[in-house]
Amino acid sequence: MIQTFSLFPGITLRCCRDTRFKQGCLSFQLVRPMCLEESAMNALLPSVLLRGTRQHGDLRAITNRLDELYGASVSAVVRRIGDYQTTGLYCGFMDDRFALPGDRVLQPMLDFLGELLLESPLENGGFPTAFVESEKKNLIATIESELNDKRAYAMGRLLRTMCREDTFGLPRLGDKEQVAVIDPVFLYDHYQHILRESPIEIFYVGSEEGEQVASLLKPLLSRLDRDYRSLKPQTAFHSCEGSDLTETMEISQGKLCMGFVTPITNRTPEFPAMQMLNTIFGSGMTSKLFMNIREKLSLCYSIGSGYYGSKGIVTVSAGIDFDKEELTRQEMLRQLKDCQDGHISEDELTAARQAILSSLRSTHDSPGSIEGYYATAALSGMKMTPAEYMAAVEAVTKEQVVAAANSLQLHTTYFLKGGSQ
């Protein structure tokens, strides 16, 4: 059961009390509209906060404090949730019951979180230049390193191309150029601004009562000077003209990606049917793409599809030989056509249904997956709890799956192949 507390205007605490786990977690997220002007700053912020506080002045002092808290961790959270970008911190910590007699973890953890969020050392009215500059360098390296994973790189190129008119085409961590020009004073001012205005989502999983967590957080939150502004609701895909793009790189395996669009999002009633369609079409080892393109035709090792429910986008990608592009492309479309023509067996339908149900059933089996579900579902506009979602999946018919398949339109294709640029 999730308990929801509205602690201050625009500040929501959601608690999942569960005594089975050995660790607890708490995420603190500021919710922002995804936009080019601030995405890089939002991505940079948490890393700067983690560099030091007035009491714990450098990385080593921070790690030592976390070591004292039985190896607790605090990490940056920067998520894309539809049209929103969240920025904040995620704490993972051992449950109090394993601590030495009389010792506590949760309370000092939350005190320390408050310190990280609100007691940054200041330099000329901004964050320390050394922290900001070195984290800018790290963030640029992280953005550039997308190139190292060719599949993720190709998928990123596809989404950027097809979402030119949509926030979904903006990189989650901002652009390198945007990062490079961030100034320590401006970043600090931006932080104060978003602390004041943004919706704040706090999510806790652990053995403590919700009321108790709320009261432990009150001192931290009452220090905020709030002037809350709500955000615009999520929107579906903003269309643009599709394209067919090929790029080259010195690689030994090609990556073929296709992007489809659909009016079905996680805010429309057909959502569970589209999830089912995606599973049948390309998710997992029993999907049509896997069974046919990998197992029957031996064209690839990795292949799969993904459904971005907040936007209504389905993508497909596969790692193939350069000369198999046309064949693979035709085959991918043929598998989709099969779904659209209703060639879906009872077994495929059952397998997809069971896979989704099983994953929803085990949502509550780890603190991370509980946080992952609830801390993003509400923001993305998905109103169903796992139980309601399961009931909806149970009720999906084959006709609805076929209808979902027929709502898909090919928008853009991207192929990354070998050779010199």
Partner 1 sequence: MIPSYYPELDETCYRQVLENGLTVAVVKRKGFTKKLAYFITDYGAIHTDFTFEGREYHAPAGMAHYLEHKLFDMPGGRDVSAEFAAMGAMTNAFTSYDLTAYYFSCTENFHECLKLLLEFVSTPYFTEESVEKERGIIDQEIGMNQDAPDSVIFENLMVSMFEKHPIRIPILGTSQTIREITAQTLHICHRAFYTPGNMLLCVVGDVEPEEVTALARQMLGSEKKEVGKKQPLPQESMTTAEKETCRIMEVAMPMFNLAFKCEPLGLGDEAIRREMVADLAAEALFGESSELYLRLYEEGLIDSSFGGGFETIDGCAMLMCSGDSDMPEHVRTAILEQAERIAAEGIEEAAFLRMKRSALGRRIRQLDSFDGTCFRVCAYHFSGFDYFRFPEVYRSIEKEEIRKFIADIVTADRSCLSVIRPVEEK
CA dihedral for 357, 358, 363, 365, sign (positive or negative): positive
CA gap 410, 50 in Å, rounded: 43
CA dihedral for 269, 275, 277, 278, sign (positive or negative): positive
Within 202-304, residue ranges assigned H as helices are 210-221, 271-282, 288
182 binds partner 1 (CB under 8 A): no
Total number of residues that touch partner 1 (CB under 8 A): 66
Name residues contacting partner 1, limited to 222-281 (CB under 8 A): 249-253
- Nearest approach, Cβ of 129 to partner 1 (angstroms)? 13
Give the x-and-dash track for 348-387 against partner 1 (CB under 8 A): --xx--xx-xx--xx-xxxx--------------------
Q: Which is nearer to partner 1, 154 or 221 (CB)?
A: 154
Vertex 381 angle, CA 375 and 387, to 5°: 70
Tokens of 50: 């983690």
Task: Identify the three-state secondary structure at position 202.
Answer: strand
Run of H or E including 132: helix 129-144
- Nearest approach, Cβ of 35 to partner 1 (angstroms)? 25
Q: Which is nearer to partner 1, 25 or 31 (CB)?
A: 25
Give the x-and-dash track for 54-93 against partner 1 (CB under 8 A): ----xxx--xx-xxxxxxx-------------------xx
Name residues contacting partner 1, limited to 299-318 (CB under 8 A): 299-302
- Nearest approach, Cβ of 74 to partner 1 (angstroms)? 11
Q: List CB contacts of 266: < 8 A, sequence separation 6 or more.
A: 309, 310, 380, 381, 382
Give the x-and-dash track for 135-174 against partner 1 (CB under 8 A): --xx--xx-xxxxxxx------------------------
Q: Which is nearer to partner 1, 258 or 299 (CB)?
A: 299
Q: Give the binding range for partner 1 (CB under 8 A) out of 17-25, 29-37, 165-173, 393-401.
A: 17-25
Alpha-carbon 46 to chain mean position: 16
- b/e code 67-96 from CB counts within 10 Å (16+ = b): eebbebebebbbbbbbbbbbbbbbbbbbbb
Burial degree of 201 (CB within 10 A; 0-12, 13-18, 19+): buried
Q: Which is nearer to partner 1, 249 or 378 (CB)?
A: 249
Task: Please give the residue ranges that form the binding site for partner 1 (CB under 8 A).
Answer: 20-23, 47, 58-60, 63-64, 66-72, 92-94, 97-98, 130, 134, 137-138, 141-142, 144-150, 249-253, 284-286, 294-295, 298-302, 319-321, 347, 350-351, 354-355, 357-358, 361-362, 364-367
